[in-house]
Structure 1
C-alpha cells in the first residue's frame, strides 16, 4: 500500500476487521503490522458504537463520505482523526477504503482560536460598558458634589438637637454611599484618577488589617502571611484599600458563617510567558497579593462573568455586582493581572500580580491630618463651567476666610487674571470645559503670572493632566465629589508647598 502517505490508510472488511493497512496507520496506533491485522474497528475507534457509517458499510457508494471520530492507541491514549471512507471491491469482497488523518494540531488551533475570540468579545464588552460607566460616573459626580457640599454646610449651621439634623445626616450618608458607587464604576472603567506611589505592599496591607477584621466580622478568622524582602510596587495606596475591601466583602459573603480568610504576599519571577485566568502574562518580576477564603466557591459558569459590572450571584439587595469589576479595573490600570482559582464548595483564591518597581524609594503617605477644615486668607480663583459647583466652591472657601473670585469659562478666567492677577494666589480649575481644557488654561495664565499655583478638579480622569489615569508629575488634583474637609485641606496643602 501507499507507505509514503502522510495519512494513515486502512481497508476494512464487512466484519469491521482490518483487511490491510499502511505504515503510517500502524505508527499512528502504536501497533506492529502483525497486531494491526488482528484488530477490528471496535479495538481502535473509541466512538465506534456511535458511528452509523460503520453499520452502513455495505451501502457506501464509491463517492464515500467524511466524518470525525477518535482513535485509541495501543497505550490507551486517544486522539482526534478525520476519516474519509469510500466503498471498493477486491477479490469479490465488498471493502471500505479509509484515509485517516490525525487532526490533533487542527483541533488545538481551533480551540485556541475559540478562546481568543471569547477573550476578544469579553474585552470589547468590558470596554463598551467601561465607557458608559465612566460617562455616567462623571455626570453623577458633579451632582453628588453639590449634594454633599451643601448638606455639610447645612449641618454646620444647625444644632444636633434640631429635627432637621438627623434628616441631613441621612442625606449625607446616602450621598457618601453613592459616591462610593461612582468610585467603583470609575475604577472598573479605568478612569479613576490616581497618584501612584512606590510602596511596600506589606506595610500597606498591614495598615488595613484592623478595618478588614471589622468588615468580615468575628466569626471569620483573618490570617496575614507577609512575604519576606518584598519588592516595591508603584500603585496608589487607596487602590490597594479598595481591592482588599472588595475581596474581603466577597469572601465574607461566600463564607456566610464561620470560616477563614487568608491574605498573603510574595515575590515571583516568571521566566516565560504564562497564562493566568485565560490571559497571557509576560515574563518578569512581580509581587503577588493573594486573598483566599474557605467559602462556597464559584461555579464554572459564573467564573466567566465575575469581572463584569453588575453581575452578582447574591440575593437582591445583598450586592451591587461592582466589587470584583472594581478589582479588575484597578489591576489592569496598574499593568497587572488577576488569576482566579475556584470551584463550587471548594473556596476561592484570588492572585493579583503587580509589576515590580525597579526605581524609586518607598514613599510616605500624606493623609488628612486634621478633622477641622483649615482656614486661610489668600485669594483663590475658581474656574468651573457647572454653575452649581462654582457656587459651592466659592461658598466653602469663602466661609473659611479666603477671598474667592469666580469664572464660568476659561475666557472669563483669562480676563480676571488680566485685571487682578497680582492678588491671585491659587487657581482651582475644572479639567474638561468648553473653549479650552484646564491644562491649556493654566499654561495661558502662567504666561501672565508664572508663579501661579494650580489645583485641578474633575469628575474623572482626563488626558489633559493624566495618561491612562495616572497623574502627570507635579499635577495637583482633587477628585469629585469632594467634601468640605477634602477641598479645604487640599487647597491649604497646595498653597503651603513650594512652587514646582
Structure 2
C-alpha cells in the first residue's frame, strides 16, 4: 500500500479510514482513487501489481499521465475518453470499459473495469474511484478463438472454392493467397509440376505478396537443398531463421537462399502430395522477421495443402477427361472416315495383340474372381511344362506351393488385390517349383496377371549369402591360425632347449642305467610335443614346405599297406585310382600325413567296422562353385576323396570340423588337430578342402590340390642314413635372440666338433663376421627383432660371397608369404631338432650335398 509521502500533493493518509484501507488492500481488484482535479490519491496493492510496481510512488499527476494507457489496438487513449476523466469531469458512471496498460517494465496487459464518482452525503463530488482487473488471458483466448474460427472459415472457404475450380492456375493462386493471409506471411509461393501438350514436364509457380519479376533472375528451386525436402515430398520444413539454420550452408556451393533474394528469415514449406502419392508441388512462405511461424501454422498449411492436392487432382482428372473427350470426338471422326476399313484394322490390331500375348516370354494369365484360369499363353509350357489346355479351367491353387497359398478360395481375389506385385512358387510339371514374380491388375471380377521366373536370381542371392558365410569362416580360421602359429613358434623355441639338453644328457649317461631310461622317456615326450606343434603350424599354414611334383595315384598306392595297418582288420579298404591323373605340386610327406589323418578319423567314426574308400580324380571347379566358397580359384584340380560309412556328423558339427582343438572324441582320445592340420596344409598348398556328412550315412572329405602344369621337377634325392659325421673344427657363427636356445645350440655345436661364435642379433653377428674371416658357416634364426635372419644372410653374403648359411626356425612369416616355399640356396632346419639332425644338416650345407 502506498505511503503518505507518495500521495500527490502530500495528501494525508487519513482520507481513508484505517478499516476501509485494510479492506481495500485485501481486494483482488485494483482500486485507484482521485480527487476532483483527477489527481491520484490512493492506489491499492492489487492496482500496483497490475502496473508492475510494488509502490507506485505517483507524484501530483493525473491518471493518464501517471499510467500509460492505450486503446485495445495499441494507440494512446484520448485523455477525454479516460474512464476516470469522465467520472471526475462529468460525474458519469462508466461500466465495462476495456483498455491496455503499459506496465513499468514495458510490457502490456489488457484491463477491464468501471469508474464512478465519489460523493458525500450531500451529493457533493469528492473525486472518483476506478476498479479494474486483468483481462489479458480472456481477451487472448477470445482473440485465439476468433483467429481459429477465421482460420477454419478460411479453410472451408478455400476448400469450397478450389473444389469447384477446374483451372489449375486459379487453384494454386487461391491456396497461395489463402496461406499468406492465414499465417501472416510477407510472401508466399506455390511451385507445382505440370505437363504440357507435348508431354514435357515443367515446373511452374505462382506468387502472393511479392512481384513475380523478383524471381526472374533465380533458377528453379529444385536446385536448392532448401527446397528439396518439400519438392521431393519428404517432409514439411519450418525454420525460425534460415540464415542461422545448420541444415542449410552459407558457403559455396550455396545451399541456403541465394544472394539478393527477397528478405526471408522465417521459413515454412509444405509438400502437396496427391492421393496416389505423387508429389504435385509445394507451398512456400517467408517473413523477414525470425520466429514468425508456429506449429499451429504448420497445421493450417497442412490443411491448405490437402485442399490443394484434392483440387489439383480434380483439375488434372478434369483435364484428362477433357482430353479424352476431345480424343474420343476425334476418334469418332476418324472412325467415320475409316468405316470402310474398320473391320480390317480391328482384325490387324487383334492379331498384333494375340501375337504379343502368344510370344511373350513371361507367364500371361486371365483369371476369374474365384481364381480359376480363363486363358493362359504358351509361356506356361516353356517355363513350367504345362500346356494351356492343362491350365485353363483349373484353380490357381493347384499350381501354387502349399505354403504360398492364402487361406481359403474366397480369399484369392482379396489376396491379389492387396498389392500389384508379389512372389510365389509355382509347380512345374516335373514336380519341381519355380519362383515367379507376379504383377496383377483387376477389372471388376476379372484378374490379369503377368509372371516372370526369378528362380535364378533367388539362387544367385542364396549363393551370395553362402559365399559371405564361407568368407566369414575363412576369416575366422585365418585369425585362429595367426594365434596358433605364434603359440607354436614360442613353444618350439622352448622345445629346442629341452630336446637339445635331453639329447646331450642322454649321450653322456651310461647305457642301461635308470637315468638313461628316464632321459629317453623325457625325449620321447618332447618329440610328441614337437609333433603337436608341427600340427599347429600346419593348421596356421606356417610350416615350411618342400613342394615337389607328385603323382597322387602312386602316392596313395604306396600308402596302401600303411593304411591297411592303421585302420585295422575290421574295416575294408577300397582304393579307386583315376586314369591319366594330372600331376600336382605338393609336399609329399605332408600329403601322406594328411591322407593318414583322414583315414584314422574315418576309422574312429566306424567303431563297429565298415568300409573306407580313397578315390582320386581330375576335377575342374567352375566360377559358380568358386563364388560359393571363399578362397577358391576356379580351375583344374587333383582331388583325393576319403569316404567312410561311419556315424556321420550333423551340420553344426561339420561346420566346426576344421576348427583347432575341436573334437567329438572322449577326453584323452584326440587333440582336435588332425583335420586342422589337413586344412592348413591344403590351404598353404593353394588348394581347397570340403567336407560332406550326414548323421547315419557317413562322411566324405575332399582334398583339392592345384593341377601342375609344365615340366615336372626332378625328384629330390633322399637323405642318407649314413652315420653322423663329426665336425672338423670349422668356425660357426651362431645367431639367435633367445639366450637359452643360443646356449644349448652352442653346446651342441661344440659337442659335434665345431668352434662357435655367439651373437644375439644381426648387428653383433656382422661385427664378428668382419673380425673373423675364417667363419665357415652362419647358423641363424629366421625370426628375430629389427633385422631378421634372411636379411642378415643377404648382408653377410654381400660382405663374404660364398658364405654357407643354415636357417633355423619355429615358423617363418616369410614362409607364409610364399606359401611355405624356400629358395634352393636357403636350407632350413625346423625347431626343435636333435643333435643327429643338426650334425647331418651342417655337413650337407658345408659340403654342398
Specify if TM > 0.5: yes
How big is the shift at 1:419?
Answer: 1.2
Deviations 1:11-49 (A, max 9, x none): 544433235556656865555555543111222222278
Deviations 1:112-163 (A, max 9, x none): 2112112211221121111222222111211121122112222223235544
Partner of 1:82: 437
Pick from 747, 762, 765 the counterpart of residue 410 of structure 1: 762
How big is the shift at 1:188?
Answer: 1.7
Q: Give the direction of change, closer, same or farther, for the CA distance of 1:34–1:207 in structure 2 (3 Å limit).
A: closer
Partner of 1:128: 479
> After TM superposition, which residue ranges in structure 1, 4 or more long, deviate above 6 angstroms?
none
Partner of 2:777: 426
Q: SS at 1:469's partner residue?
A: coil
Aligned 8 A contact 1:231 1:287 in 2: yes
Aligned 8 A contact 1:277 1:339 in 2: no
Deviations 1:155-212 (A, max 9, x none): 2232355444444334323322222222112112211111222344455445544443
Pick from 322, 331, 346 the counterpart of residue 682 of structure 2: 331
Describe how 1:277-426 pairs up with structure 2 within 5 A. 279=629, 282-284=634-636, 286-354=637-705, 355-367=707-719, 369-370=721-722, 372=724, 374-421=726-773, 423-426=774-777
Distance 1:432 1:486 in 2: 20
Structure 2 unaligned residues grouped into runs of 5+? 1-352
Aligned 8 A contact 1:193 1:466 in 2: no
Aligned pair 1:248/2:599, yes or no? yes
Partner of 2:392: 37
Describe how 1:444-463 pairs up with structure 2 within 5 A. 444-463=795-814
Aligned pair 1:69/2:420, yes or no? no
Distance 1:14 1:33 in 2: 19
How big is the shift at 1:452?
Answer: 1.0
Distance 2:612 2:786 in 1: 52
How big is the shift at 1:233?
Answer: 3.3
The total of aligned residue pairs comes to 491
Pick from 521, 527, 533 the counterpart of residue 182 of structure 1: 533
Farther off after superposition, 5-14 or 290-299: 5-14
Q: Give the direction of change, closer, same or farther, for the CA distance of 1:158–1:290 in structure 2 (3 Å limit).
A: same
Distance 2:690 2:393 in 1: 50
Over the aligned positions, Cα root-mean-square deviation in angstroms equals: 3.4
Aligned 8 A contact 1:437 1:464 in 2: no
Q: SS at 2:544's partner residue?
A: coil
How big is the shift at 1:89?
Answer: 5.7
Partner of 1:150: 501
Aligned 8 A contact 1:274 1:281 in 2: no
Partner of 1:198: 549
Distance 1:20 1:259 in 2: 59
Aligned 8 A contact 2:780 2:807 in 1: yes
Distance 2:784 2:795 in 1: 15
How big is the shift at 1:214?
Answer: 3.7
How big is the shift at 1:340?
Answer: 4.1
Aligned 8 A contact 1:18 1:39 in 2: yes
Aligned pair 1:139/2:494, yes or no? no
Aligned 8 A contact 1:430 1:457 in 2: yes
Farther off after superposition, 49-58 or 144-153: 49-58
Distance 1:464 1:199 in 2: 21
Scaled by the length of structure 1, what TM-score is found? 0.86
Distance 2:407 2:687 in 1: 51
Distance 1:401 1:484 in 2: 12
Higher RCO structure (Cα 8 Å, ≥6 apart): 1
Aligned 8 A contact 2:366 2:447 in 1: yes
Aligned pair 1:471/2:822, yes or no? yes
How big is the shift at 1:479?
Answer: 1.0
Distance 1:20 1:194 in 2: 69
Structure 1 unaligned residues grouped into runs of 5+? none
Partner of 1:233: 584
Aligned pair 1:487/2:838, yes or no? yes
Scaled by the length of structure 2, what TM-score is found? 0.53
Q: Give the direction of change, closer, same or farther, for the CA distance of 1:377–1:261 in structure 2 (3 Å limit).
A: farther
Partner of 2:182: none
Aligned 8 A contact 1:65 1:85 in 2: yes
Q: Give the direction of change, closer, same or farther, for the CA distance of 1:247–1:375 in structure 2 (3 Å limit).
A: farther
Describe how 1:110-121 pairs up with structure 2 within 5 A. 110-121=461-472
Aligned pair 1:103/2:445, yes or no? no
Aligned 8 A contact 1:220 1:260 in 2: yes
Deviations 1:218-240 (A, max 9, x none): 43344555566655433222212
Q: SS at 2:394's partner residue?
A: coil
